[in-house]
Structure 1
Amino acid sequence: MEENQLFPVFFKLHRLHVLVVGGGNIGLEKANAMLENCPQATITVVSLDFLPALEELTHQYPNITLIQKSFSCGDLLGKDLVVAATNDKAFNYHVWEKAKGSRVLINVADTPELCDFYLGSIVQKGNLKIAISTNGKSPTIAKRLKQVLQEAIPDTLDEVLNKLSQIREKLTGDFASKVRKLNSITEVLVKPESENA
Protein backbone atom coordinates (compact mmCIF):
# COMPACT_ATOMS: atom_id res chain seq x y z
CA MET A 1 0.00 0.00 0.00
CA GLU A 2 1.29 3.43 -0.97
CA GLU A 3 2.04 5.84 1.85
CA ASN A 4 2.63 9.56 1.93
CA GLN A 5 6.42 9.85 1.99
CA LEU A 6 6.54 13.62 1.67
CA PHE A 7 8.84 15.43 4.09
CA PRO A 8 7.03 18.58 5.30
CA VAL A 9 9.07 21.77 5.23
CA PHE A 10 8.16 25.43 5.67
CA PHE A 11 9.92 27.77 3.24
CA LYS A 12 10.92 31.25 4.35
CA LEU A 13 9.58 32.80 1.15
CA HIS A 14 10.82 36.27 2.05
CA ARG A 15 14.37 34.88 1.53
CA LEU A 16 13.59 33.10 -1.74
CA HIS A 17 12.64 34.19 -5.25
CA VAL A 18 9.69 32.34 -6.78
CA LEU A 19 8.87 32.19 -10.48
CA VAL A 20 5.24 31.63 -11.45
CA VAL A 21 4.68 30.79 -15.12
CA GLY A 22 1.11 31.68 -16.05
CA GLY A 23 -1.00 34.79 -15.58
CA GLY A 24 -4.46 33.20 -15.52
CA ASN A 25 -6.62 31.73 -12.78
CA ILE A 26 -4.08 29.09 -11.75
CA GLY A 27 -1.24 31.62 -11.56
CA LEU A 28 -3.45 33.96 -9.55
CA GLU A 29 -4.42 31.17 -7.14
CA LYS A 30 -0.79 30.11 -6.57
CA ALA A 31 0.50 33.69 -6.16
CA ASN A 32 -2.36 34.48 -3.75
CA ALA A 33 -1.63 31.37 -1.67
CA MET A 34 2.02 32.36 -1.29
CA LEU A 35 1.28 36.01 -0.53
CA GLU A 36 -1.39 35.13 2.07
CA ASN A 37 1.25 33.13 3.94
CA CYS A 38 4.14 35.53 3.34
CA PRO A 39 3.22 39.05 2.22
CA GLN A 40 6.95 39.80 1.77
CA ALA A 41 7.42 36.93 -0.73
CA THR A 42 9.36 37.87 -3.86
CA ILE A 43 7.42 36.53 -6.84
CA THR A 44 7.96 37.04 -10.55
CA VAL A 45 5.09 36.05 -12.83
CA VAL A 46 5.85 35.47 -16.50
CA SER A 47 2.99 35.29 -18.99
CA LEU A 48 1.78 36.72 -22.28
CA ASP A 49 -1.43 37.87 -20.56
CA PHE A 50 -2.46 38.65 -16.98
CA LEU A 51 -5.82 38.64 -15.24
CA PRO A 52 -6.73 42.08 -13.88
CA ALA A 53 -6.79 40.59 -10.35
CA LEU A 54 -3.14 39.55 -10.77
CA GLU A 55 -2.24 43.05 -11.93
CA GLU A 56 -4.00 44.45 -8.83
CA LEU A 57 -1.75 42.32 -6.59
CA THR A 58 1.23 44.38 -7.73
CA HIS A 59 -0.36 47.44 -6.09
CA GLN A 60 -0.83 45.62 -2.77
CA TYR A 61 2.47 43.72 -2.71
CA PRO A 62 5.62 45.53 -3.84
CA ASN A 63 7.64 42.30 -4.25
CA ILE A 64 5.48 40.81 -7.02
CA THR A 65 6.60 41.55 -10.57
CA LEU A 66 4.70 40.78 -13.76
CA ILE A 67 6.73 40.27 -16.94
CA GLN A 68 4.66 40.13 -20.11
CA LYS A 69 6.49 37.70 -22.39
CA SER A 70 6.76 34.05 -23.25
CA PHE A 71 8.63 31.81 -20.79
CA SER A 72 12.30 31.14 -21.56
CA CYS A 73 15.16 29.37 -19.77
CA GLY A 74 16.61 32.73 -18.73
CA ASP A 75 13.57 33.27 -16.49
CA LEU A 76 14.92 30.55 -14.19
CA LEU A 77 18.14 32.43 -13.40
CA GLY A 78 18.25 33.42 -9.74
CA LYS A 79 14.98 31.65 -8.92
CA ASP A 80 14.70 29.22 -6.01
CA LEU A 81 11.28 27.75 -6.75
CA VAL A 82 9.10 27.53 -9.86
CA VAL A 83 5.37 27.05 -10.21
CA ALA A 84 4.13 26.04 -13.68
CA ALA A 85 0.61 27.44 -13.52
CA THR A 86 -0.97 27.26 -16.95
CA ASN A 87 -3.83 25.07 -18.19
CA ASP A 88 -1.61 23.78 -21.04
CA LYS A 89 -0.14 20.44 -19.88
CA ALA A 90 2.38 20.25 -22.74
CA PHE A 91 3.67 23.75 -21.96
CA ASN A 92 3.80 22.99 -18.22
CA TYR A 93 5.88 19.90 -19.07
CA HIS A 94 8.25 22.11 -21.08
CA VAL A 95 8.65 24.41 -18.04
CA TRP A 96 9.24 21.32 -15.86
CA GLU A 97 12.01 20.08 -18.20
CA LYS A 98 13.78 23.43 -18.12
CA ALA A 99 13.46 23.72 -14.32
CA LYS A 100 14.84 20.22 -13.81
CA GLY A 101 17.72 21.03 -16.18
CA SER A 102 18.46 24.13 -14.07
CA ARG A 103 18.09 22.15 -10.81
CA VAL A 104 15.30 24.41 -9.57
CA LEU A 105 12.48 22.89 -7.48
CA ILE A 106 9.16 22.99 -9.32
CA ASN A 107 5.45 22.56 -8.69
CA VAL A 108 3.39 21.76 -11.78
CA ALA A 109 -0.26 22.60 -11.20
CA ASP A 110 -2.59 19.57 -11.22
CA THR A 111 0.25 17.18 -12.15
CA PRO A 112 1.46 15.53 -8.92
CA GLU A 113 3.99 13.27 -10.65
CA LEU A 114 5.91 16.34 -11.89
CA CYS A 115 5.93 18.15 -8.53
CA ASP A 116 8.99 18.43 -6.30
CA PHE A 117 6.74 20.04 -3.68
CA TYR A 118 3.06 20.78 -3.13
CA LEU A 119 1.32 23.93 -1.99
CA GLY A 120 -0.86 22.31 0.69
CA SER A 121 -3.92 23.59 2.50
CA ILE A 122 -2.85 25.82 5.39
CA VAL A 123 -4.45 26.31 8.79
CA GLN A 124 -3.15 29.35 10.65
CA LYS A 125 -3.86 30.65 14.12
CA GLY A 126 -1.35 33.41 14.83
CA ASN A 127 2.08 31.78 14.95
CA LEU A 128 0.70 28.26 14.64
CA LYS A 129 0.67 27.04 11.07
CA ILE A 130 -0.38 23.55 9.99
CA ALA A 131 0.10 22.32 6.43
CA ILE A 132 -2.14 19.52 5.18
CA SER A 133 -1.14 17.11 2.45
CA THR A 134 -3.03 14.27 0.81
CA ASN A 135 0.03 13.42 -1.32
CA GLY A 136 -1.70 15.01 -4.30
CA LYS A 137 -4.61 12.55 -4.07
CA SER A 138 -7.41 14.91 -3.05
CA PRO A 139 -6.97 18.67 -2.62
CA THR A 140 -10.71 18.77 -1.81
CA ILE A 141 -10.23 16.61 1.30
CA ALA A 142 -7.30 18.81 2.34
CA LYS A 143 -9.56 21.84 1.98
CA ARG A 144 -12.28 20.22 4.13
CA LEU A 145 -9.76 19.24 6.83
CA LYS A 146 -8.53 22.82 6.81
CA GLN A 147 -12.07 24.02 7.58
CA VAL A 148 -12.46 21.52 10.43
CA LEU A 149 -9.12 22.41 12.03
CA GLN A 150 -9.65 26.15 11.55
CA GLU A 151 -12.85 25.89 13.60
CA ALA A 152 -11.50 23.39 16.15
CA ILE A 153 -8.32 25.25 17.13
CA PRO A 154 -9.09 28.16 19.47
CA ASP A 155 -7.90 31.64 18.50
CA THR A 156 -6.41 31.97 21.99
CA LEU A 157 -3.76 29.36 21.15
CA ASP A 158 -1.48 32.15 19.90
CA GLU A 159 -1.46 33.61 23.45
CA VAL A 160 -0.38 30.21 24.76
CA LEU A 161 2.41 30.04 22.18
CA ASN A 162 3.68 33.50 23.11
CA LYS A 163 3.69 32.68 26.83
CA LEU A 164 5.47 29.36 26.23
CA SER A 165 8.07 31.18 24.16
CA GLN A 166 8.73 33.55 27.08
CA ILE A 167 9.00 30.60 29.49
CA ARG A 168 11.37 28.80 27.11
CA GLU A 169 13.68 31.82 26.99
CA LYS A 170 13.90 31.90 30.79
CA LEU A 171 14.62 28.19 31.27
CA THR A 172 18.10 27.21 32.36
CA GLY A 173 19.98 23.94 32.03
CA ASP A 174 20.99 21.79 29.11
CA PHE A 175 18.78 20.98 26.12
CA ALA A 176 17.38 17.74 27.60
CA SER A 177 16.51 19.50 30.85
CA LYS A 178 14.68 22.29 29.01
CA VAL A 179 12.73 19.75 26.93
CA ARG A 180 11.64 17.89 30.10
CA LYS A 181 10.45 21.14 31.72
CA LEU A 182 8.52 22.23 28.62
CA ASN A 183 6.98 18.76 28.26
CA SER A 184 5.83 18.95 31.87
CA ILE A 185 4.32 22.42 31.38
CA THR A 186 2.50 21.52 28.16
CA GLU A 187 1.27 18.09 29.33
CA VAL A 188 -2.03 19.69 30.32
CA LEU A 189 -2.76 20.30 26.63
CA VAL A 190 -2.95 16.58 25.85
CA LYS A 191 -4.32 15.10 29.08
CA PRO A 192 -7.97 13.96 29.01
CA GLU A 193 -10.25 16.45 30.79
CA SER A 194 -11.05 13.97 33.58
CA GLU A 195 -7.34 13.91 34.54
CA ASN A 196 -7.12 17.72 34.55
CA ALA A 197 -10.08 18.11 36.93
Structure 2
Amino acid sequence: MRYYPLLLDLHGTHCLIVGFGKVGQRKLATLLKANPAQVTVLDTFSIEEVKDADMLQLLNNPFVTYSQRSFEASDVAGKTLVFASTGSRTVNKQVSDACAAHNILCNVIDDPSSGTFTVPAHIEKGDLLITLSTGGASPALSRKIKKELEKQVGDKYAPVVTLMGRIRPLILELANDTEQNTTVFRNLVSSDIATAIQKKDQIAAESILRSILPETLHSNIGALLHELI
Protein backbone atom coordinates (compact mmCIF):
# COMPACT_ATOMS: atom_id res chain seq x y z
CA MET A 1 0.00 0.00 0.00
CA ARG A 2 1.63 3.22 -1.17
CA TYR A 3 -0.89 5.73 0.18
CA TYR A 4 -2.07 6.08 3.77
CA PRO A 5 -5.90 6.13 3.92
CA LEU A 6 -6.94 9.38 5.55
CA LEU A 7 -9.93 11.74 5.74
CA LEU A 8 -8.86 15.33 6.38
CA ASP A 9 -10.70 18.05 8.27
CA LEU A 10 -10.03 21.13 6.12
CA HIS A 11 -12.22 23.54 8.06
CA GLY A 12 -10.36 26.82 8.46
CA THR A 13 -7.48 25.88 6.15
CA HIS A 14 -6.08 27.59 3.05
CA CYS A 15 -5.72 25.57 -0.15
CA LEU A 16 -4.39 26.22 -3.65
CA ILE A 17 -5.45 25.04 -7.10
CA VAL A 18 -3.06 25.76 -9.97
CA GLY A 19 -4.85 25.36 -13.31
CA PHE A 20 -8.61 25.69 -13.65
CA GLY A 21 -9.63 23.47 -16.52
CA LYS A 22 -12.28 20.76 -16.14
CA VAL A 23 -10.18 18.81 -13.64
CA GLY A 24 -9.40 21.90 -11.58
CA GLN A 25 -13.10 22.75 -11.50
CA ARG A 26 -13.96 19.28 -10.22
CA LYS A 27 -11.26 19.58 -7.55
CA LEU A 28 -12.64 22.93 -6.40
CA ALA A 29 -16.26 21.76 -6.30
CA THR A 30 -15.32 18.85 -4.04
CA LEU A 31 -12.92 20.92 -1.96
CA LEU A 32 -15.55 23.55 -1.14
CA LYS A 33 -17.75 20.89 0.44
CA ALA A 34 -15.05 20.48 3.12
CA ASN A 35 -15.45 24.14 4.20
CA PRO A 36 -11.89 25.47 3.90
CA ALA A 37 -11.38 29.09 4.95
CA GLN A 38 -10.01 30.03 1.53
CA VAL A 39 -9.10 28.46 -1.78
CA THR A 40 -6.77 30.35 -4.10
CA VAL A 41 -7.13 29.52 -7.81
CA LEU A 42 -4.38 30.42 -10.27
CA ASP A 43 -4.70 30.44 -14.06
CA THR A 44 -3.95 32.78 -16.95
CA PHE A 45 -7.44 33.40 -18.38
CA SER A 46 -9.44 36.56 -17.72
CA ILE A 47 -12.52 35.96 -15.60
CA GLU A 48 -14.39 38.45 -17.81
CA GLU A 49 -13.99 36.00 -20.69
CA VAL A 50 -15.64 33.11 -18.85
CA LYS A 51 -19.03 32.19 -20.31
CA ASP A 52 -19.63 28.90 -18.51
CA ALA A 53 -22.18 29.48 -15.72
CA ASP A 54 -20.96 26.61 -13.52
CA MET A 55 -17.36 27.80 -13.79
CA LEU A 56 -18.36 31.35 -12.87
CA GLN A 57 -20.36 30.12 -9.90
CA LEU A 58 -17.31 28.34 -8.54
CA LEU A 59 -15.03 31.34 -9.04
CA ASN A 60 -17.55 33.71 -7.45
CA ASN A 61 -17.81 31.62 -4.30
CA PRO A 62 -16.95 33.89 -1.33
CA PHE A 63 -14.32 31.41 -0.17
CA VAL A 64 -12.50 31.44 -3.53
CA THR A 65 -9.87 33.94 -4.65
CA TYR A 66 -8.96 33.89 -8.34
CA SER A 67 -5.66 35.36 -9.57
CA GLN A 68 -4.95 35.71 -13.28
CA ARG A 69 -1.24 34.95 -13.39
CA SER A 70 1.32 32.18 -13.60
CA PHE A 71 2.37 30.05 -10.66
CA GLU A 72 5.21 31.16 -8.39
CA ALA A 73 6.90 28.89 -5.85
CA SER A 74 5.95 31.26 -3.03
CA ASP A 75 2.25 30.59 -3.73
CA VAL A 76 2.37 27.35 -1.75
CA ALA A 77 3.38 29.07 1.49
CA GLY A 78 0.79 28.61 4.23
CA LYS A 79 -1.32 26.16 2.22
CA THR A 80 -2.60 22.88 3.63
CA LEU A 81 -3.41 21.22 0.30
CA VAL A 82 -2.22 22.08 -3.20
CA PHE A 83 -3.56 20.77 -6.51
CA ALA A 84 -1.39 20.91 -9.64
CA SER A 85 -4.01 20.65 -12.37
CA THR A 86 -2.63 22.53 -15.35
CA GLY A 87 -2.22 21.07 -18.83
CA SER A 88 1.54 21.55 -18.57
CA ARG A 89 3.65 18.81 -17.01
CA THR A 90 6.46 21.35 -16.54
CA VAL A 91 4.26 23.69 -14.50
CA ASN A 92 2.76 20.82 -12.52
CA LYS A 93 6.27 19.66 -11.62
CA GLN A 94 7.16 23.17 -10.49
CA VAL A 95 4.15 23.07 -8.19
CA SER A 96 5.01 19.63 -6.78
CA ASP A 97 8.67 20.61 -6.29
CA ALA A 98 7.65 23.75 -4.39
CA CYS A 99 5.34 21.71 -2.18
CA ALA A 100 8.02 19.11 -1.53
CA ALA A 101 10.42 21.84 -0.41
CA HIS A 102 7.88 23.00 2.19
CA ASN A 103 6.44 19.59 3.16
CA ILE A 104 3.00 20.52 1.81
CA LEU A 105 0.55 17.90 0.59
CA CYS A 106 0.23 18.04 -3.20
CA ASN A 107 -1.92 16.29 -5.78
CA VAL A 108 -0.60 16.20 -9.36
CA ILE A 109 -3.19 15.27 -11.97
CA ASP A 110 -0.89 14.03 -14.74
CA ASP A 111 1.73 12.31 -12.56
CA PRO A 112 0.31 11.09 -9.22
CA SER A 113 3.63 9.57 -8.18
CA SER A 114 5.26 13.02 -8.12
CA GLY A 115 2.72 14.25 -5.57
CA THR A 116 2.01 13.13 -2.03
CA PHE A 117 -1.66 12.18 -2.26
CA THR A 118 -4.34 11.14 -4.71
CA VAL A 119 -8.02 11.99 -4.56
CA PRO A 120 -10.03 8.77 -4.31
CA ALA A 121 -13.28 8.10 -6.08
CA HIS A 122 -16.06 8.63 -3.57
CA ILE A 123 -19.74 8.06 -2.91
CA GLU A 124 -21.57 10.70 -0.92
CA LYS A 125 -24.96 9.99 0.61
CA GLY A 126 -25.80 12.59 3.22
CA ASP A 127 -23.19 12.25 5.96
CA LEU A 128 -22.10 8.88 4.61
CA LEU A 129 -18.87 9.13 2.63
CA ILE A 130 -17.32 6.06 1.03
CA THR A 131 -13.93 6.42 -0.63
CA LEU A 132 -12.03 3.97 -2.78
CA SER A 133 -8.71 4.01 -4.57
CA THR A 134 -6.51 1.88 -6.79
CA GLY A 135 -3.42 3.77 -5.63
CA GLY A 136 -3.38 5.76 -8.86
CA ALA A 137 -3.01 2.59 -10.94
CA SER A 138 -6.43 2.78 -12.61
CA PRO A 139 -8.89 5.63 -12.08
CA ALA A 140 -11.13 3.88 -14.63
CA LEU A 141 -11.39 0.83 -12.38
CA SER A 142 -12.14 3.08 -9.40
CA ARG A 143 -15.05 4.59 -11.32
CA LYS A 144 -16.35 1.13 -12.26
CA ILE A 145 -16.28 -0.07 -8.65
CA LYS A 146 -17.87 3.20 -7.53
CA LYS A 147 -20.85 2.62 -9.83
CA GLU A 148 -21.27 -0.91 -8.50
CA LEU A 149 -21.14 0.29 -4.88
CA GLU A 150 -23.63 3.09 -5.57
CA LYS A 151 -26.15 0.53 -6.80
CA GLN A 152 -25.50 -1.74 -3.82
CA VAL A 153 -25.60 0.95 -1.12
CA GLY A 154 -28.29 3.18 -2.59
CA ASP A 155 -29.84 5.54 -0.03
CA LYS A 156 -30.33 2.88 2.64
CA TYR A 157 -27.61 3.90 5.08
CA ALA A 158 -27.57 7.70 4.87
CA PRO A 159 -30.39 8.16 7.45
CA VAL A 160 -28.72 5.59 9.72
CA VAL A 161 -25.57 7.72 9.74
CA THR A 162 -27.70 10.70 10.80
CA LEU A 163 -29.39 8.60 13.48
CA MET A 164 -26.07 7.33 14.85
CA GLY A 165 -24.78 10.90 14.89
CA ARG A 166 -27.69 11.80 17.16
CA ILE A 167 -27.39 8.75 19.38
CA ARG A 168 -23.63 8.72 19.94
CA PRO A 169 -23.34 11.89 22.09
CA LEU A 170 -26.31 10.78 24.21
CA ILE A 171 -24.68 7.42 24.86
CA LEU A 172 -21.33 8.99 25.70
CA GLU A 173 -22.98 11.44 28.13
CA LEU A 174 -24.13 8.47 30.20
CA ALA A 175 -20.46 7.83 31.07
CA ASN A 176 -20.80 4.06 30.90
CA ASP A 177 -17.73 1.92 30.29
CA THR A 178 -16.39 1.64 26.75
CA GLU A 179 -17.32 -2.03 26.36
CA GLN A 180 -20.95 -1.31 27.22
CA ASN A 181 -21.10 1.58 24.75
CA THR A 182 -19.49 -0.53 22.03
CA THR A 183 -22.12 -3.23 22.54
CA VAL A 184 -24.92 -0.70 22.08
CA PHE A 185 -23.39 0.73 18.90
CA ARG A 186 -22.74 -2.69 17.41
CA ASN A 187 -26.24 -3.91 18.22
CA LEU A 188 -27.71 -0.85 16.57
CA VAL A 189 -25.83 -1.22 13.29
CA SER A 190 -26.48 -4.98 13.28
CA SER A 191 -30.22 -4.49 13.76
CA ASP A 192 -32.91 -3.93 11.13
CA ILE A 193 -33.08 -0.20 11.88
CA ALA A 194 -31.92 0.71 8.35
CA THR A 195 -34.71 -1.36 6.80
CA ALA A 196 -37.32 0.03 9.19
CA ILE A 197 -36.35 3.60 8.33
CA GLN A 198 -36.22 2.84 4.62
CA LYS A 199 -39.76 1.39 4.82
CA LYS A 200 -40.95 4.38 6.88
CA ASP A 201 -42.04 1.94 9.59
CA GLN A 202 -42.19 4.16 12.68
CA ILE A 203 -43.47 1.41 14.99
CA ALA A 204 -40.70 -1.04 14.03
CA ALA A 205 -37.99 1.63 14.31
CA GLU A 206 -39.17 2.72 17.75
CA SER A 207 -39.34 -0.91 18.88
CA ILE A 208 -35.76 -1.58 17.75
CA LEU A 209 -34.43 1.49 19.53
CA ARG A 210 -36.28 0.64 22.74
CA SER A 211 -34.83 -2.87 22.69
CA ILE A 212 -31.25 -1.64 22.31
CA LEU A 213 -30.91 1.81 23.89
CA PRO A 214 -30.56 2.23 27.66
CA GLU A 215 -33.92 2.92 29.27
CA THR A 216 -32.88 6.43 30.27
CA LEU A 217 -32.78 7.36 26.56
CA HIS A 218 -36.20 5.99 25.63
CA SER A 219 -37.78 9.42 26.03
CA ASN A 220 -35.47 10.65 23.25
CA ILE A 221 -36.59 8.13 20.64
CA GLY A 222 -39.13 10.44 19.01
CA ALA A 223 -36.53 13.19 18.57
CA LEU A 224 -33.95 10.69 17.35
CA LEU A 225 -36.22 9.58 14.52
CA HIS A 226 -37.46 13.08 13.67
CA GLU A 227 -37.67 13.60 9.89
CA LEU A 228 -35.97 10.24 9.24
CA ILE A 229 -39.29 8.47 8.79
Tell me whether the two structures share a fold, i.e. TM-score over 0.5: yes
Cα deviation code 1:6-45 (max 9, x no counterpart): 222112233221101112233223222323x436563111
**Aligned residue runs from structure 1 range 77-96, under 5 A:** 77-96=77-96
- Alpha-carbon RMSD across the aligned residues, in angstroms, is 2.1
Cα deviation code 1:101-142 (max 9, x no counterpart): 122111111212112111111101111101111100111111
Work out which of the two has the higher radius of gyration on C-alpha atoms and give 1 or 2. 2
Which amino acid counterpart does residue 43 of structure 1 have in structure 2? V
Which amino acid counterpart does residue 18 of structure 2 have in structure 1? V
5+ residue gaps, structure 1: 190-197
Q: Tell me which residue corresponds to 2:41.
A: 45
**Aligned residue runs from structure 1 range 124-139, under 5 A:** 124-139=124-139
Q: Distance in 1 between matches of 2:166 and 2:81?
A: 34
**Aligned residue runs from structure 1 range 1-197, under 5 A:** 4-35=1-32, 37-38=33-34, 42-49=38-45, 52=50, 53=52, 54-59=55-60, 61-171=61-171, 172=174, 173-188=176-191
Cα deviation code 1:149-174 (max 9, x no counterpart): 22221324222222223333333312
**Stretch moving more, 41-50 or 116-125:** 41-50
Q: Match of 1:135, SS? A: coil
Contact 1:108 1:114 in 2 (8 A): yes
Distance 1:12 1:176, change over 3 A: same
Higher relative contact order (CA 8 A, sep 6+): 1
In the TM superposition, what is the alpha-carbon distance from 1:50 to its structure 2 partner? Answer: 5.9
5+ residue gaps, structure 2: 193-229
Contact 1:55 1:66 in 2 (8 A): no
Contact 2:13 2:36 in 1 (8 A): no
Which amino acid counterpart does residue 59 of structure 2 have in structure 1? T
Q: Aligned pairs, how many?
A: 184
Identical aligned residues as a percent: 28
Contact 1:124 1:150 in 2 (8 A): no
Which amino acid counterpart does residue 185 of structure 1 have in structure 2? L
